[in-house]
Structure 1
Amino acid sequence: MSTLEHSLRRRRASAGRLARLAQPVATVLAVVLLLGVPFWLVISTAGKSQAEAFNPDLSPPAEWQLFQNFAEVFDQGRMLLGLAGSLLVMVPAVIGVLILGSAAAWILGRRSGRGLAVLYALAISGIVLPPAVVTIVLLLRQLGLAGTAVGMIGVYMGMYLSTVIFFVTGFVRTIPPELEEAARVDGAGPVKVFIRIILPLLMPVLATATILICLYIWNDVFYALFVVGGRLDTLPLNLFQVASAGLYLQNWHLIFAYIILMSLPLLLVFVFAQRKIISGITSGAVK
C-alpha cells in the first residue's frame, strides 16, 4: 500500500511540474503567435518585390530587397517632410500637456473635498469620452487655427490632458507634504515649490506619460486628417496620402517598408524605456 501511495505522489508531483512548465510555454507561444506573426508579415512583405507583395502572405521573399525598398521609400515618400511635421506637432504638444497636466494634478492631489472630487472626475473624463471631431474643426475655423500646427498642438493637448492628470495625481499623493512645507518656510512660492520640489519627483511618472502620449500622437492619422489634412505633413498622414496616390497604389512592399521606417524611432524608444513605463504606472497606481 505504501508503494502505491508513493507512486501516486510521484505521479502527482510530476504532473504538477509539467503543469508549471506548460503555463509559461503556452504564454510564450501565444505571444509569438499574436505578435510574431504580424511582425513577420510586415518584415517579409517589405522585403519582397512588387510582384511578390501583390498579395501579402507569410511566405519569405525569393530575394530580399528590404534596404532597396527602404531607400526608395525614403527618396520618393516625402519622409523628411513627414518627420519634420510630426516633430513640429508632437514636441510642443507633449511638453505643454506635461506641464499643464502635472500642475493640475498637483493641485487635485493635494486638496480634498466634494467639489474637487467632481472636478477630478471631469478632468479625467477625457480618457473615456472621445472628442467630437466636427465640433473641433468648426471651433478651429472660428479661431483661424484650422490647418495649422498650432491648432493641431492645441487639439492634442486637450485630448491627452486627462491622461497626464490621471497618471500624475496618484503619484502626487505619495509625495510627503512636509517637503512642500519646508520649502514654504524657506520663502518659496507655489511656482517655485512646484518647479524645484514637485516636478523633479514626478519624473518617473512623467517619463511614462511622455512615452505613451508620444506613441498616440506619432501614430495618429484620424484627427490630423480632419485638422491639418493636406496642409501639414506628418508621417502617418503622409503614409495615408501617398498610399492612395499612384506611387504606392498596390505597392504593398513600399507601404510596409514605410510603416517600418515610421515605427522604428518610437519602437526603439519603447524597447529601451519599457522599465520606466512599468515603474511609472505601478508607482502611481498601488501606492
Structure 2
Amino acid sequence: MGPRIWRWARPTIVVALALVVIGIPLWLVLATSAKPRGEAINPNLDPPDHWQPGSNYADALDQGEMMRGFANSLLVIVPSVVLVLILGAAAAWVFARRRGKLVATAYAVCISGLLLPPAIITIVLQLRQLDLAGTRPGMIAVYTAMYLSTSIFFMTGFIRAIPYELEEAARMDGAKPLRIFLRIVLPLLRPVIATATIMVMLYAWSDIFYSFFVLGGGDAATLPINLYQVASAELYQENWHLIFAYVVVMSLPMIAIFLVAQRRIVSGITSGAVK
C-alpha cells in the first residue's frame, strides 16, 4: 500500500509545489495588470473588483513605448542568434572531426564559458576601447560570446554521432569543405539548431543585467531596459497596473515560442549532450 500511495501522492505534491512557486506569482502579475490604479497601488492576490485589462495593456503599449523596445530587442537578438548558430556549428564541426592536444585545448577553452561567469567590468572597458559601448553591435558581440559555449557544447556532441562516411562520400564526389558543411552537416543539426535558437532567445529576451551595462538607456534600449526606465520614471510611480501589464505583454512572445517548441528544446539538449 505504501508504494501505491506514494505513486499517486508524488504527482500531487509536484503539482501543488508548481501552483505555489509558479501559480501564485503568475496570478499576482495577471490580477494586478487587470486592476484600476486605485486597486493596484498595493499589489495583492485579491481579484480585481473592476476588470480593465484592455485599457491597461493599451496604456502600457503606448506610454511605455513598447514597440520601440520590441524593435530594439529584435535588432540585437536576431543577429546574435545567427552568429551563435553559424560560429557554433563551424567550430563544433572542427572539434568533432579533428583530434590532437591543440584541438582538445581549444575545445576546453571554448566551453569554459559554461562555468565561468562573464566579467562585466572587463567587458565594458573593452567595449569602450573599441568604441562599441552603448551600441547594438557591442551588445550583439556580448550575447554571441556568452552563448557560443553552449552552442559549441551541444553541437559537438551531436556531430560526433553523425557517421563520418557521409562526409567521406561527399569528398570522393569532389565536394569542398564548405559545401559539405552547408549540404550535409547543417541539415543534420536541425534539432540542436532549434534548441540553441530558442535558448538564446529566451535568455537574451529577458536579460537586463548585461544590457544595462552595455547599452544603458536611450533609443537603443531593449524591452527589459525600457521597462526599467518607465518603471523608474514619474509617469509609472505607483502605477503597478501598468508595470505588470508591460511585463505580461513583454513575456507573451517568449511564452508562445516556449510552449510551441518545448519538445524540440528537450530533444535537442538530450541529443547534443548524450550522443
For 2:43 and 2:161, locate their aligned partners in 1 and report how far apart those are by CA, in whole Å: 51
Pairwise CA distance, 1:145:
1.4
For 1:156 and 1:30, locate their aligned partners in 2 and report how far apart those are by CA, in whole Å: 33
Q: Tell me the secondary structure at the aligned position of residue 71 of structure 1.
A: helix
List per-residue Cα deviations over 1:92-120 (Å, max 9, x = no partner). 11101110011101111112233222221
For 1:49 and 1:128, locate their aligned partners in 2 and report how far apart those are by CA, in whole Å: 45
For 1:154 and 1:16, locate their aligned partners in 2 and report how far apart those are by CA, in whole Å: 53
List per-residue Cα deviations over 1:74-106 (Å, max 9, x = no partner). 111100110110000010111011100111011
From 264, 268, 271, the counterpart of 1:280: 268
List per-residue Cα deviations over 1:174-196 (Å, max 9, x = no partner). 11101110111111111111111
**Is 2:113 the partner of 1:126?**
yes
Q: Which residue of 1 aligns with 2:246?
A: 258
Pairwise CA distance, 1:18:
2.2
From 229, 236, 239, the counterpart of 2:224: 236
Q: Structure 2-normalised TM-score?
A: 0.96
Deviating 4+ runs (over 6 angstroms) = none
Q: Which residue of 2 aligns with 1:21?
A: 8
State, as a whole percentage, how many aligned pairs show the same letter.
Answer: 59
CA contact (8 A) 2:81 2:200 kept: yes
For 1:218 and 1:120, locate their aligned partners in 2 and report how far apart those are by CA, in whole Å: 28
Q: Which residue of 1 aligns with 2:123?
A: 136
**Is 2:7 the partner of 1:42?**
no
Q: Which residue of 1 aligns with 2:233?
A: 245
Equivalent AA in structure 1 for residue 12 of structure 2: V
What pairs with 1:1-287 in structure 2 (closer than 5 Å)? 12=1, 15-231=2-218, 232-287=220-275
For 1:42 and 1:258, locate their aligned partners in 2 and report how far apart those are by CA, in whole Å: 10
Pairwise CA distance, 1:209:
0.7
Q: Tell me the secondary structure at the aligned position of residue 138 of structure 1.
A: helix
Pairwise CA distance, 1:17:
2.5
CA contact (8 A) 2:153 2:272 kept: no
**Larger of the two Rg values belongs to structure:** 1
Pairwise CA distance, 1:44:
0.7
Pairwise CA distance, 1:223:
1.3
Unaligned runs of 5+ in 2: none
